[in-house]
Amino acid sequence: MGYQILRFEKIKTRQSLEGRCKHATRERQPQNADPALRGENQVDRMTQETLAAFDRRLAELPRIRKDNVRAVEILVAFSPSEAARLSKGEQDRYFADAKAWFTKLFGGPKNLLNTTIHADEHTSRHMTMFVMPIETIKDEQTGQELGEKFNCKHWLGGARRLSLLQTRFHDDIAARYGLERGIQGSKATHQEVDRFYARVHEAFEDASLPNPDPPKHKVFINPNDEIMEAVENRDAQLQPKIEALAAQAREADLLRKQNRVLRRTLAAKDKQIAQLDEEIRGLRKWIQRAQTALIEGGSRLATFRDKVIRGYKTWQEELRAKRQDRDRDRGIERLGG
């Protein structure tokens, strides 16, 4: 039984993307392709249209670092021996399912640049995809989208993620077409796909397998496995540092969460203080109005008091005068009597 084949190539510049795209679209004819079979290929976009889509998507990102991986070339294929077992319709469905799977994996159609299916090489048909590794950043608590950024490591960061990606693709797609995943953790070395296919083609003509590259104890290439022995050794050496960094990251994440709680608490207190300030300003206005009313009321009360006193004195004087008039009239009355 044959194997699934997955390969990933990181692209860091627009110029590199343009060159690889021209190779895929056959705007630049490769030596291992037959021009007479070019009409059998399927091309979604030509290079200039692909670059235009790349530029539009690039303009939507707020920040871009110089060392960002800007695109990923994905090769999807199967062992040449499977070309006779799988009908053309099955192969087309395999490529269509793989395209949908990787498109969803890398954030949807907005990050898909181009897809081509090649049938002009003297090997099995294969598909090439170009995607942009743009990750959507979300708030851990609310799930709200906060922005986007390049993050190729999110998908292709290290041997473990590549191995898991191979397994997930096999379980979701390749297994349905009778393809094997390959040896997990294989120490086979990696060769360029074109060179590998050329050696396989030579082997069929010679009716014997070619000798593997030195060292001779290495197993002949298993092209669908991206785990290399050097990467595994390096990961083993870096594991203590990785664990230390992971501990620091967990501590930093805890501090970030505590800071978020403190920020929310401070925001609530700031709101309460603002409300109290507003109430105090209102009370000050009422106190000022009361003081003004008291001053004005006191002035009015004093005026009223003076008016009452003057009226009282006038009334007393009038009363005294009337009493004097009455007493005088009584005296006159007695004299007359």
Instruction: Report pLDDT for 241.
Output: 65
Provide the whole-model pTM.
Answer: 0.57
Instruction: Report pLDDT for 127.
Output: 97
Burial (Cβ within 10 Å: 0-12, 13-18, ≥19) of residue 187: middle
DSSP output for 180-234: B---TT--PPP--HHHHHHHHHHHHHHTSPPPPPSSTTSPPP-TT----HHHHHH
Instruction: Report pLDDT for 231.
Output: 46
Tokens in use for 209?
Answer: 């397998």
Rounded to whole angstroms, the Cα distance separating 143 from 138 reads 5
Instruction: Report pLDDT for 336.
Output: 67
Tokens in use for 44?
Answer: 């979604």
CATH topology classification for 4-225? BirA Bifunctional Protein; domain 2 (3.30.930)
pLDDT-flagged residues of the chain (< 50)? 189-193, 196-197, 200-231
Instruction: Report pLDDT for 305.
Output: 83
Instruction: Report pLDDT for 120.
Output: 92
**Are the beta carbons of 165 and 133 closer than 8 angstroms?**
no
- Residue 236, amino acid: A
Instruction: Report pLDDT for 185.
Output: 59
Instruction: Report pLDDT for 283.
Output: 77
Instruction: Report pLDDT for 3.
Output: 92
Instruction: Report pLDDT for 229.
Output: 46
pLDDT in tens, 133-186: 999 998 888 888 889 999 999 999 888 999 999 999 999 999 999 999 876 655
Rounded to whole angstroms, the Cα distance separating 197 from 168 reads 25
